[in-house]
Amino acid sequence: MIQRVDLHTHSNASDGTDTPAELVTRAHEAGLKAVALTDHDTLCGLAEGKATADRLGDIEFVRGVEVSTGTEQGEMHILGLWVPEDAGPLEEALAEMRARRGERNQRILDKLDTLGVHITMDEVLAQAGGESVGRPHIAMALQARGYVKSITQAFDLYLGSTGKAYIPKDVMEPERAVSLMSGIGCSVIIAHPMLKPYPPGWIDEFVKRLLPFGLCGIEAWHSEHTDADARSCIGIARRYHLCVSGGSDYHGLNKPRIHLGIGYGSLMVTTDAFALLKHWREEQGLPC
């Protein structure tokens, strides 16, 4: 029997809606053999996720994180898997990113204010379950106050890149993200590299640029990837001797059509793929 894992998920520690305990419980109910919690810019949900998996048994928990980096082609996201408990320099860098998020959130609220839309930072923070706060929480606060009918409308009118209160996010240099994470023993994976159409060969160049900093792999299987996208990623992995990872990018009710383990229904990340990721770590002398 083919068994599944999910190595890319978000809880309410960032912009998902499940608590880490709920998320791991659902993953267990779905029969997944492993789940990685990869919240944006925070590690604050990981202890609860791990404790839940230990209590339930029969599901492996992988401590993860997702970091947004900036490139000439826009944002590229990078996942760190098997984040150690003592994440020293990574935790410091994430704290810095969260502080910049806080400043950006305030600038968005200020801009909304000038548009006659008045919500407070307390209302935004009330929507967040953890320490990584961003536009989805502002969208929820706007909806709670009746300024918009839906989260989608909040992004269309105000928060999206063509919205009236858009402020771009501060992002990390990709080299810095990769070296910070590989330096503490994470498996560093380029997330969903096929979300946008990049110029031919650009992803190859991006991979080559990051290899010297300790890049481990590339996310081939993702809810928003087609089968052809996944095959392209596997081709890239072969060319540069990278590992292949995958996950749903589950966000709970914030992306209600994406389910743990199966994405929109056809996602499949097998325990065999997971075993290869662990094998790479064993070869490097890294703990799993």
Q: Which residues bind Zn ion (CB under 5 A)?
A: 10, 15
- β-strand pairing of 60-71 with 74-81: antiparallel
User: Quick one: 160 or 185, whose CB is closer to ligand AMP?
Assistant: 160
Q: Look at residue 28 and give the partner it binds from ligand AMP, Zn ion, Fe ion, none, a contact being a CB closer than 5 to 8 Å depending on partner kind.
A: none
Q: Is 70 in the site for ligand AMP (CB under 6 A)?
A: no
Per the structure block, which two tokens stand in for 182?
């590989």
Residue number of the CB atom closest to ligand AMP = 134
Pick from 135, 192, 225, 281: which binds ligand AMP (CB under 6 A)? 135
Stretch that binds ligand AMP, among 132-140, 195-203, 213-221, 238-246 (CB under 6 A): 132-140
Closest listed residue to residue 134, CA positions, set 39, 64, 44? 39
Cβ neighbours of residue 9 closer than 8 Å, sequence gap 6 or more: 16, 23, 27, 35, 36, 37, 38, 247, 248, 249, 250, 260
Binding residues vs Fe ion (CB under 5 A)? 66, 77, 191, 249
User: Quick one: 23 or 151, whose CB is closer to ligand AMP?
Assistant: 151
Q: Is 136 in the site for ligand AMP (CB under 6 A)?
A: yes
* Cα gap 24→279, rounded to integer Å: 24
Question: In the bound complex, what is the minimum distance in angstroms from residue 103's beta carbon to ligand AMP?
Answer: 12
Cβ neighbours of residue 38 closer than 8 Å, sequence gap 6 or more: 7, 8, 9, 10, 64, 65, 66, 79, 80, 81, 247
Q: Is 150 in the site for ligand AMP (CB under 6 A)?
A: no
Cβ neighbours of residue 287 closer than 8 Å, sequence gap 6 or more: 82, 84, 185, 281
Pick from 20, 45, 49, 134: which binds ligand AMP (CB under 6 A)? 134
Pick from 70, 84, 102, 160: which binds ligand AMP (CB under 6 A)? 160
Q: Is 151 in the site for ligand AMP (CB under 6 A)?
A: yes
* Cα gap 17→273, rounded to integer Å: 27
Q: Is 155 in the site for ligand AMP (CB under 6 A)?
A: yes
Stretch that binds ligand AMP, among 151-159, 171-179, 211-219, 258-266 (CB under 6 A): 151-159
Q: Is 18 in the site for ligand AMP (CB under 6 A)?
A: no
Contact 78, 20 (CB under 8 A): no
* Cα gap 276→48, rounded to integer Å: 26
* Cα gap 278→276, rounded to integer Å: 5
Residue 130 has, within 13 A of its CA and on its CB side, a CA count of 25
User: Quick one: 14 or 127, whose CB is closer to Fe ion?
Assistant: 14
Applying CB under 6 A, which residues contact ligand AMP? 15, 40, 134-136, 151-152, 155, 160, 169, 251, 254
